[in-house]
Amino acid sequence: MVDYIIDQNLAILAVNNPPVNALSHHVREGLVEGIKKANANDQVTAIVIIGKGKIFCSGADIREFSNHAAIKDPVLTSVGHTIENSGKPVISAIHGNALGGGLEVALFCHYRIASESARVGFPEVLIGILPGAEGTVRLPRLSGLSFAMDMIASGKQINAKDAFKHGILDKVCTGNILEEAKDFAKKVIGQPLDSRRLSRINVEDASNVDAVFEVALAQVKKKYKGQIAPIYCLKSVRNSAKMSFDKAAAEERRLITELMLGYQSIALRYSFFAERSASKWRLPCGASVNNTKPSKIESTGVIGAGTMGSGIAVCLIRAGIPVILVEKDPKMLEKGMETISGILDGSVKLKRMTPGQKAKCMEILKGATSLDKLSNVDLVIEAVYENLELKRQIFAQLDKVCKPSTLLCSNTSTLDIDKIASATNRPDKVVGTHFFAPAFIMRLLENVYGSKTSPTTVATVMELGRRIGKVTVLVKTCYGFVGNRTHQCFGAEASFLLEEGCLPQDIDQVLEEFGMAMGPFKVSDLSGIDVGWRIRQEVAKAAGFKLTTETRYHNGERISTVGDSLFEMGRYGIKTGKGWYKYDPTNLRKPVPDSDVADVILDHCAKMGLQRCKIPPQEIIERCLFAAVNECFRVLEERVAEKPEDIDVIWQYGFSFPRYAGGPMFYASQVGLKRVYERVCFYHEKFPYSSHWIPSDLLRKLASHSVEIPMSQWKEFVNGSKL
């Protein structure tokens, strides 16, 4: 796992652990052996550590952390001490990335050089830990305290030029990294090593440490609300200036152990792998990412120049994929094109794009007012409003207009893909591509297959998602798919809580303290109360009944119409300056609780004869989350989602479920399925008119086991296969 190569008077240690050169046990062993062998060889005058393949090193092997106590010797710190104590100079030659433990290896070396395109960073905080192989103690000795605190607590990666500027690198190379390392080594042979050993030098700005810490702490508490690891990162960097090197390093070890065993890190590590597992899709027929090739997509059409259509077009052109944007009304089309240009201007302003890149994007965007213009494109995404008949008409027309190989995608958020596909003669090429608003910002893409969607079509839209930078999850068609179907239960319970004693701000506050980026009522104000109203009206119309603010039940199901009263008052949310909250036009980001809304809710309750009482925070969490969890188990049971990780990824990226709580499925696994099941049964008895409380069969089966069944085995209980 570490190749040992003698090249003239140099020993080259090449880490060879594909795909990302993680520092697994054998790599650590190989590094120690390599350094010892090189030091014992009189012919060797210097040692170079390099990575094979596309990257220097991605850091510790995260998979080993699940059994932290069993991590085998040599641990990374003792590898590092062997490197630092080498009597011959050790140079790390970085290309690609040096991350986490990979950067720590470099900091144990006496010199560090990197390719221009290399990036370095300490992403440990993103998995809820800190750089625990002396990274927090060594970095400040090179970069100073303030920079080290920011880099370690944020987990951000920096480019080679910046790393050089902050003293982390000794040289930025433009040529072949190995050749440059060899030249560099020759120049440093014979130079004294003590001043190059970071454990022997002091933190220069140590006297400022308390002031620097206080500023950084205030920023971190605001930016990473609720997260423990960023604060521990700062404390550990502070120790580097307040304690001896050895004492600070020992304290760092204590802090990383505490973090690693904590709930947040376990959840964040789970989230790291869950996100990667989402792209490994599989259909019940056995087709999968491993055996199905996607079709080539070189041109696309987007239908509808409204908010969703424009946002989707931005995603495509940003990835260099040409788009024909179709909108019947020329004025609407012009407005859509302006919206797209405006979004890209925003990116230029934020320096995420150069003006030249924006111009290139606009060059591959064309507008059209007729579907005929889509005759030759490879893929079309329809993004008109949520109306089955309208979508079916468009798909029937597309089927006639487009070449036979064109894939037809619907950006529906709820509707049955099979019903849309049956309007065409190519149901195998029809698929749902559910973007979340705003499409150019939200990273989630929920791809939805119908009963006739072909594996090639699935492979193509999954690959398209990857190309446009989305976290892409595959699900089976049903009303609302995974995201909206499970989230609806969460939203419904939040509305019922309003009828039983809460105000919007009470519920938002509890759920934000739990970790959601925004409570459901702030989200509703952002997305528009009118949008929810329209969807409820559509559903009611389709079911043939009239929904009014007086409606309490439909088909034996409890319904809450408080939001509809706000709609009727013209309170649509941020767009009208008033919704569940009121907004100062000069500060639309700050929702202010509104006594008028409290009056609307109290009137509603009085009119309906609903008794109000104080509801404890624990009940708010249970009602919203366990209702969703129960539905998530149904979704798994019906194989709408293939694995629990897919559901959690959808909640993290679609509904801002905190990564450090893992997602509803992971959360349920940590609470314990027995407890979740008991509470679901309790609420089912208390609220018999909400079918989302009918306990899922799968949840019942799993909860009936005397020992907790690990998440990785839940799937095996679907359809009773394990009972």
- From 119-127, 215-223, 319-327, 531-539, give the range in contact with ligand 3H9 by CB under 6 A: 119-127
Which is nearer to ligand 3H9, 257 or 537 (by Cβ)?
Answer: 257
Contacts 24+ apart (CB under 8 A), 390-397: 391/415, 391/420, 391/423, 392/419, 392/420, 392/422, 392/423, 393/423, 394/303, 395/420, 395/421, 395/423, 395/424, 395/430, 396/423, 396/424, 397/371
For position 240 contacting ligand 3H9 by CB under 6 A, the verdict is no
For position 62 contacting ligand 3H9 by CB under 6 A, the verdict is yes
The catalytic residue among 84, 104, 251, 622 is 104
For position 80 contacting ligand 3H9 by CB under 6 A, the verdict is no
- When binding is defined by CB under 6 A, the residue of 100, 301, 483, 658 that contacts ligand 3H9 is 100
The catalytic residue among 29, 33, 64, 124 is 124
Measured at the CA of 68, the angle between CA 64 and CA 70, to 5 degrees, comes to 85
- When binding is defined by CB under 6 A, the residue of 13, 20, 259, 640 that contacts ligand 3H9 is 20
CB-CB neighbours of 542 under 10 Å = 12
How is residue 149 written in tokens? 């605190």
- When binding is defined by CB under 6 A, the residue of 1, 12, 46, 76 that contacts ligand 3H9 is 76
Which is nearer to ligand 3H9, 127 or 255 (by Cβ)?
Answer: 127
For position 463 contacting ligand 3H9 by CB under 6 A, the verdict is no
- When binding is defined by CB under 6 A, the residue of 127, 523, 600, 640 that contacts ligand 3H9 is 127
The nearest distance, CB 470 to ligand 3H9, in angstroms, is 14
CB 53 within 8 A of CB 18: yes
**Which residue in 346, 229, 282 sits closest to 660, CA to CA?**
229
Which is nearer to ligand 3H9, 123 or 140 (by Cβ)?
Answer: 123
- When binding is defined by CB under 6 A, the residue of 30, 51, 80, 123 that contacts ligand 3H9 is 123
Which is nearer to ligand 3H9, 276 or 400 (by Cβ)?
Answer: 276
The nearest distance, CB 69 to ligand 3H9, in angstroms, is 13
* Rounded-to-integer distance, Cα 232 and Cα 180, Å: 38
For position 63 contacting ligand 3H9 by CB under 6 A, the verdict is yes
* Rounded-to-integer distance, Cα 572 and Cα 595, Å: 17
* Rounded-to-integer distance, Cα 34 and Cα 21, Å: 16
For position 99 contacting ligand 3H9 by CB under 6 A, the verdict is yes
* Rounded-to-integer distance, Cα 653 and Cα 645, Å: 12
Which is nearer to ligand 3H9, 104 or 150 (by Cβ)?
Answer: 104
- From 120-128, 304-312, 550-558, 676-684, give the range in contact with ligand 3H9 by CB under 6 A: 120-128
At 264 the three-state DSSP class reads: helix
> Going by DSSP bridges, is the β-strand pair 157-159/119-121 parallel, antiparallel, or unpaired?
antiparallel
How is residue 390 written in tokens? 């309208």
* Interacting positions 560-589 with ligand 3H9 (CB under 6 A): none
For position 420 contacting ligand 3H9 by CB under 6 A, the verdict is no
* Rounded-to-integer distance, Cα 86 and Cα 69, Å: 28
Which is nearer to ligand 3H9, 280 or 452 (by Cβ)?
Answer: 280
Exposure string of 554-567, with b = 16+ CB inside 10 Å and e = fewer, is eeeebbbbbbbbbb
The nearest distance, CB 27 to ligand 3H9, in angstroms, is 11
- The continuous run of DSSP H or E covering 379 comes out as strand 379-382
The nearest distance, CB 623 to ligand 3H9, in angstroms, is 35
The nearest distance, CB 415 to ligand 3H9, in angstroms, is 32
The nearest distance, CB 508 to ligand 3H9, in angstroms, is 32
| Sheet (strand 323-326) strand order | 365-368, 323-326, 300-303, 379-382, 407-410, 430-435, 444-449, 471-476
For this structure, is 124 an active site residue? Answer: yes
The nearest distance, CB 463 to ligand 3H9, in angstroms, is 15
Residue 279 CA: distances (Å) to CA of 269, 271, 275, 718: 17, 13, 8, 22
The nearest distance, CB 78 to ligand 3H9, in angstroms, is 11
Which is nearer to ligand 3H9, 122 or 147 (by Cβ)?
Answer: 122
At 337 the three-state DSSP class reads: helix
For position 254 contacting ligand 3H9 by CB under 6 A, the verdict is no
**Which residue in 325, 303, 527, 537 sits closest to 433, CA to CA?**
303
- From 93-101, 238-246, 508-516, 554-562, give the range in contact with ligand 3H9 by CB under 6 A: 93-101
Name the closest residue to ligand 3H9 (Cβ). 100
* Interacting positions 258-317 with ligand 3H9 (CB under 6 A): 273, 276
- When binding is defined by CB under 6 A, the residue of 22, 48, 234, 268 that contacts ligand 3H9 is 22
- When binding is defined by CB under 6 A, the residue of 17, 58, 690, 696 that contacts ligand 3H9 is 58
* Interacting positions 133-172 with ligand 3H9 (CB under 6 A): 133, 135
DSSP characters over 640-687: SSSSHHHHHHHHHHHH---GGG--HHHHHHHH-HHHHHHHHHHHHHH-
Which is nearer to ligand 3H9, 20 or 35 (by Cβ)?
Answer: 20
- When binding is defined by CB under 6 A, the residue of 97, 264, 414, 486 that contacts ligand 3H9 is 97
At 334 the three-state DSSP class reads: helix
* Rounded-to-integer distance, Cα 392 and Cα 423, Å: 6
- When binding is defined by CB under 6 A, the residue of 30, 132, 532, 591 that contacts ligand 3H9 is 132
Number of residues counted as binding ligand 3H9 (CB under 6 A):
24
Contacts of 242 (CB under 8 A, 6+ apart): 206, 209, 248
The nearest distance, CB 266 to ligand 3H9, in angstroms, is 14
Which is nearer to ligand 3H9, 99 or 665 (by Cβ)?
Answer: 99
For position 104 contacting ligand 3H9 by CB under 6 A, the verdict is yes
The nearest distance, CB 59 to ligand 3H9, in angstroms, is 3
CB-CB neighbours of 261 under 10 Å = 12
DSSP 8-class letter at 228: S
What residues are paired with 662 via a beta bridge?
none
For this structure, is 104 an active site residue? Answer: yes
Active site residues: 104, 124
Task: Give the interface with ligand 3H9 as residue ranges (CB under 6 A).
Answer: 19-20, 22, 58-63, 76, 97, 99-101, 104, 123-124, 127, 131-133, 135, 273, 276
